[in-house]
A and B are shown apart, each in its own frame.
Chain A
Amino acid sequence: MSDWKQNLQKFRYVMDTLLLTSFMLVSAPQATGIPLHEWFSLFFIIPFVIHLLLHWDWVTRSFGRLFANITARERFNIVWDYLLYLMMLLVFVSGFLVSVALLPALNISLNIQDFWSKIHHDSATFIMPMLGVHLALNFSWIVKLTKRMFAKEAK
């Protein structure tokens, strides 16, 4: 575990764990309160971008792979990840457009529309099962890395 900063897979694992933990924290406004929810959401952009940067190879190759001779599972995985990215952006955008703490604190005033309130509530709920499917599609990697991370180092 000590070499996680040097090993790409282990570094991804640690950053993805951080991303999942921060996602769960950000997705519980009833527990944290709205102001903290909005500020956490702003900082959540950092682990989200790190996740994309650490999978840069996938980001650049995935679109081309869609037109290659690949398995149905891989094709589904690629399309699902694109949809998850779009849904995440929708949650972000709608969240900022219904902000009652963050934007007013930055002296930005908005006329909050019911449309964006509904979209934010619905998309933030819908992204959770989407994330569940995303985790399931990468479950073998998660299991493999969990074993590697916590394996006792040979002496």
Chain B
Amino acid sequence: MKHLKQQWKTRTSIVLVVSVLVSLLLVSLELTDWAAQINQQGYSHGAAEGEKPKIAPILMYILPFVKELILIGVPMLLTLGIAKLLGLIKRVVKN
């Protein structure tokens, strides 16, 4: 805990102030034509309200985590592969 306690009040304040300022900038996106266009078109995703998905109840709890593992894991493995390949090419070019 000693690592967190070091000037934590000042540092946390800086993190929060910067984050709030950046967030306010992000909120201003709703004033753009892009936002107006999406609001005009409308947006919905997932099942309609009141409609139950046609999958086993247990899968409703498992599938979201499987989706996360794939969405995080596949890019991670791809990046590791690319990094390894680039390292290999670098070594070959050097020799």
Chains A and B bind each other: yes
Interface positions of A (Cβ within 8 A of B)? 5-6, 8, 11-12, 24, 27-31, 49-50, 52-54, 56, 73, 86, 89-90, 92-93, 97, 113-119, 121, 125, 128-133, 135-137, 139
A sample of 5 cross-chain residue pairs with beta-carbon separation below 8 angstroms, ordered by A number, consists of A5-B2, A93-B23, A113-B35, A116-B30, A118-B38
Q: Is the interface of A mostly helix, strand, loop or mixed?
A: helix
Q: A114-B39, A117-B43 are in contact. Are A136 and B79 (CB under 8 A)?
A: yes
A residues near B1, Cβ cutoff 8 Å:
5, 11
Q: How far is the CB of B81 from chain A (nearest CB, A)?
A: 9
Interchain CA distance A89-B22 in the complex, whole Å: 8
B64 within 8 A of A: yes
Q: Is the interface of B mostly helix, strand, loop or mixed?
A: helix
Is the pair B15, A52 in contact by a Cβ cutoff of 8 Å? yes
Is the pair B26, A90 in contact by a Cβ cutoff of 8 Å? yes
Is the pair A132, B29 in contact by a Cβ cutoff of 8 Å? no
Is the pair B42, A114 in contact by a Cβ cutoff of 8 Å? yes
Q: Residue of A at shortest CB range from B61?
A: A31
Give the bracket for the number of chain B residues in contact with chain A.
35 or more
**Residue in B3, B11, B61, B74 with the greatest tally of chain A CB atoms within 10 Å:** B3
Count A-B contacts at CB 8 Å: 110
A residues near B11, Cβ cutoff 8 Å:
53, 56
Q: How far is the CB of B63 from chain A (nearest CB, A)?
A: 7
Interface positions of B (Cβ within 8 A of A)? 1-4, 8, 11-12, 15-16, 19, 22-23, 26-27, 29-30, 34-36, 38-39, 41-45, 60-65, 68, 71-80, 83
Q: A53-B4, A136-B83 are in contact. Are A113 and B75 (CB under 8 A)?
A: no
Interchain CA distance A90-B23 in the complex, whole Å: 7
Is the pair B76, A135 in contact by a Cβ cutoff of 8 Å? yes
Is the pair B60, A50 in contact by a Cβ cutoff of 8 Å? no
Is the pair B19, A115 in contact by a Cβ cutoff of 8 Å? no
Could you say which of B16, B19, B68, B74 contacts A28, with CB atoms under 8 Å apart? B68
Is the pair A31, B64 in contact by a Cβ cutoff of 8 Å? yes
The 9 closest A-B pairs by CB, nearest first: A136-B79, A132-B75, A128-B71, A28-B64, A132-B76, A129-B75, A114-B43, A115-B35, A132-B72
Is the pair A89, B2 in contact by a Cβ cutoff of 8 Å? no
Q: A93-B27, A114-B42, A117-B43 are in contact. Are A31 and B15 (CB under 8 A)?
A: no
